[in-house]
Amino acid sequence: MQDMENRDKESIDRESIDKASLDRESRERVLLVGVDTGEEENFDRSMQELMNLAEACDMQVAGIITQKLEKVNNAMYIGSGKVKEVRDYARDIGAGTVIFDNALSPSQVRNLNDALELPVMDRTNLILDIFAMRAKSREAKLQVETARLKYLLPRLVGMRDALGRQGGTSGSMSNKGVGEKKLELDRRKIEHRISQLKKELEEVSRDRKTQRKRRMGSRMPQVALVGYTNAGKSTIMNRMLELYGSNPDKRVLEKDMLFATLETSVRNIETGDNRPFFLVDTVGFIHKLPHGLIEAFHSTLEEVMYADLLVQVVDFSDPEYKQQMKVTAQTLKELGAGDIPMIYALNKADLLPGGELPKIKGDHIYMSAVNGIGIPELTDQIKKRIYAEHVEERFLIPYRQGAVASYFCENATVLEQKYLEEGIYLHVRCHKQDADKYEAYKYIA
C-alpha cells in the first residue's frame, strides 16, 4: 500500500478527507478518481469540489486516486494499468461505489462497471443525485427527472448496478425510488416519460410566463442574484427581506450546503423611498454543471434573462473565487444573459483579515451577508443602477385622458396625486421614455 501511495503518477490524499465523515459508518463509502490531463486550470480544486459534492450527497469519501495522462483513455477513462489498482484499493477501503470527476461516455461506464466489479458514477450523475435530493417544488422535480432520464437514456446498458444503489434516495420520480423506477424502464418507456414531462413542464412554464408578464407590466425593475452555489444568494435575499420589513413568511431556504435550493424565488423589495424592485434568487452554478441540467432548468433560469440588473454573489473567502466568477460568467453566456449589466457582491469578506467592512470599489461591494454587513450599501447600489434612467416629473392630465393617468398609476411610482379643476395632477418617478412620450401633459407651475 505504501508503494502505491508514493508513485509519481497518482496521489491518494488521505489527509484532505474530512475525518469526521470517516466515523459515520451509516454513510456509503466511495472512492473518487480523477485524471489530470493538464487542461484543467486547477485540477486539485476540481477534485476537492468532487469530494464536497459526494459529501453533499451524504456519501463518505474513503479515498482519492488521481492519474496524470496526456488524454483520457477512450475505453476506460483511466489508463488500463490503473484499473486494477483502483479496483484493489476500492476493496481495501470498503468502497461501494467509484466516482469519476468527469462525465463518462456510455461505453466507459459499461467497461468500468465490468472491470471494477463495482457501481460507477461520474460527476454529472452525482450532481443529478444532489438535485434530486434537493428538489421540493413540482417544477423542480419535473426538471430534475427530465435531466436524469435524458442522462440515463444512452446509458441503459451497463448501468444496472449503479442505478440499483440509488433506489429510493431522492423520490424525484413518481412514488417509487429513482433507482427502482429506472430499473423498470426500457428505452421506449423512458422516451415516453420524457415526452410526458415536457408537456407538464410546458404547463408550468406557461404559469411562470404569466406571472413574469404581470411583473413586467408593472414596469418595476427586476434584479437577479446569480453566482456559484453556496456563495450566499439566499442569505442576501433574506437579509434584505428582514431589513425592509417584508413578511417573514417570504424568507427563502438558507443553508450552508451545495445547491440548498433549486427553486427560483421572486420577492418584492420595498425600500421605503418609492424605489422598489423585484429580487430574484436563482439556482447556483458550479464547475462542470451538466448541460442537461441547464437545459432542463431553462424555464427557471430564464428569469435571469429578463433581469434589468444582475448581482453576482461571490464567496470572497474562497481562494478560488476568481475561477468561480469565470464559471458564472460562462454559464450566464450559455443562458443568453451575458450582456446584462452586473454588480458584484463580494460576500464573506469578513472571513479575511484586515480592512473595515463594508467597502465599495466601483461596482464591487465587500460584505458579510450573514451578519447583515453591506446589505444597505448593496441595496443603494442596486437602486442607483436600476433607476438611473428614471426621472421625477409633474403632469397635469385632463380628465378626458384618464387612461394616461391610469397608465402612470400602474407603471410609475406616484409620489403625489391631486384632483384639480383642470385635471389630475401627478408627481411621479417614471422611466425617461414615458416622460418623453407624455411630454405634452407636463405640468408648468
Residues 244, 360 within the same domain: yes
Q: State pLDDT tens for residues 330-373.
A: 888 888 888 899 999 999 998 887 756 667 888 999 999 999 99
Percent of the chain whose predicted confidence (pLDDT) is above 90: 37
The reported pLDDT for the residue numbered 346 is 95
pLDDT digit string (tens) for 41-73? Answer: 788 889 999 998 998 888 999 999 999 999 999
Kindly state whether residues 299 and 243 are assigned to the same domain: yes
In this structure, are 74 and 177 located in the same domain? no
pLDDT confidence bin for 9, thresholds 50/70/90? very low
How many of the other CB atoms lie within 10 Å of CB of 74? 10
Based on the domain organization, do 289 and 435 belong to the same domain? no
What CATH number should be reported for the domain holding residue 282? 3.40.50.300
Residues 329 and 197 in one domain: no
Asked whether residue 27 falls in the same domain as residue 76, the answer is yes
Above 50 in pLDDT, residue 182? no
pTM exceeding the 0.75 threshold for the entire prediction:
no
Residues 149 and 245 in one domain: no
pLDDT at 137: 78
* 185, 231: one domain: no
- Domain count across the chain: 4
Are residues 117 and 52 part of one domain? yes
CA pair distance 158, 113, nearest whole angstrom: 7
Average pLDDT of the residues in 314-341: 89
Does residue 213 fall inside a structural domain?
Answer: no
| Set of cell numbers at residue 57 | 450527497
Asked if residue 234 is part of any domain, the answer here is: yes
Specify the higher pLDDT residue, 301 or 223: 223
228 and 377 fall within a common domain: yes
Residue 317 belongs to domain spanning = 218-386
Q: Are 21 and 60 in contact (CB under 8 A)?
A: yes
Q: What does the pLDDT look like over 247-260, one tens digit per residue?
A: 667 877 777 767 77
Higher pLDDT, 306 or 8: 306
226 and 337 in a single domain? The answer is yes
Q: Is residue 210 part of a domain?
A: no
β-bridge partners, 393: 428
